[in-house]
Amino acid sequence: MTVRAALFDVDGTLTDTNALHVTCWWEAFRQAGHRIPTHAVHQALGLPGPDLLTHLLGPGHDREQGERISTAHDVLYATYFDRLGPLPGAPDLLRTLAADGWRVVLVTSASGAELEALRRAIDADDAVHATTSADDVDRGKPHPEPVHQALELAGASADRAVFIGDSVWDMKAAGRAGVRSAALLCGGIARAELEAAGAGEVHQDPADLLRTLPSGPFSLIAADGDA
């Protein structure tokens, strides 16, 4: 049997959390004496924490201060854990794919209590085959390692998988792993930027992707036994 894998980023793709991350990172930078524009923070979302800091502060930034900024972000963001919620259609999309035989794998840089809070927000653990987090890889997106790890967990080949994300880093990681990708606009990144990063298709949100399943990116990979 040939496995089909549906790989999903989480923040901004399945959960309505990007604006919260921007606010928390902005405040953490401000507390450390850095005035980083919110639009710059937004563009960096999707990178692992250390890479986000380097992207915004430069390669020569104070590493100890960077760790304090990251901790401040985590503390601020944790205050929202019990209020996080899914984006429209996210739980139904995952359950529909799982019921159709897809192995759903979450691909996120979150870990620990944050990852648990995100899974509670999605409220579709019954549809999730596996999760790869920051604890499982050495390099985060846009490096392809998280996507390769997700494929291994699903037991699927790259040509039998679809990766859904909301950032340019997601699209680049999928492309470097040789996986078909589609992007969602609900994370706040412009269509043109997502397409330039390699998105094969662009949809509004999980609900829109669910409505277009018969003709969207998942329809391009046939189930075993289909013509």
- 117-173 residue pLDDT tens: 999 999 999 999 999 998 999 999 999 999 999 999 999 999 999 999 999 999 999
Q: In the predicted model, is pLDDT for residue 226 greater than 70?
A: no
pLDDT at 215: 95
Query: What whole-number distance in Å separates Cα of residue 27 and Cα of residue 224?
Result: 50
Q: What percent of the chain has pLDDT over 70?
A: 98
pLDDT at 222: 84
Q: In the predicted model, is pLDDT for residue 1 greater than 70?
A: no
Apex CA 54: angle with CA 26 and CA 178, to 5°? Answer: 105
Residues contacting residue 80 through CB under 8 Å, at least 6 positions apart: 17, 20
223 pLDDT tier (thresholds 50, 70, 90): confident
pLDDT at 227: 44
Residues contacting residue 51 through CB under 8 Å, at least 6 positions apart: 140
CB 122 within 8 A of CB 94: yes
Asked whether the domain spanning 18-79 has the same topology as the one spanning 5-16+84-220, the reply is no
What is the fold, at CATH topology level, of the domain defined by 5-16+84-220? Answer: Rossmann fold (3.40.50)
pLDDT tens digit sequence for 175-186: 999 999 999 999
Question: Which of 163, 172, 191, 178 is CA-nearest to residue 4?
Answer: 163
Query: What whole-number distance in Å separates Cα of residue 68 and Cα of residue 192?
Result: 35
Q: Outline where 34-190 has alpha helix (H).
A: 38-44, 49-57, 63-78, 90-99, 112-122, 145-154, 168-176
| Whether residue 37 has a cis bond before it, omega within 30° of 0 | no
> In the chain, where are the structural domains located?
5-16+84-220, 18-79
User: How many residues in the chain?
Assistant: 227
Place of tokens 């927000």: 121
Residue type for position 147: V
| CATH code linked to domain 18-79 | 1.10.150
pLDDT at 93: 98
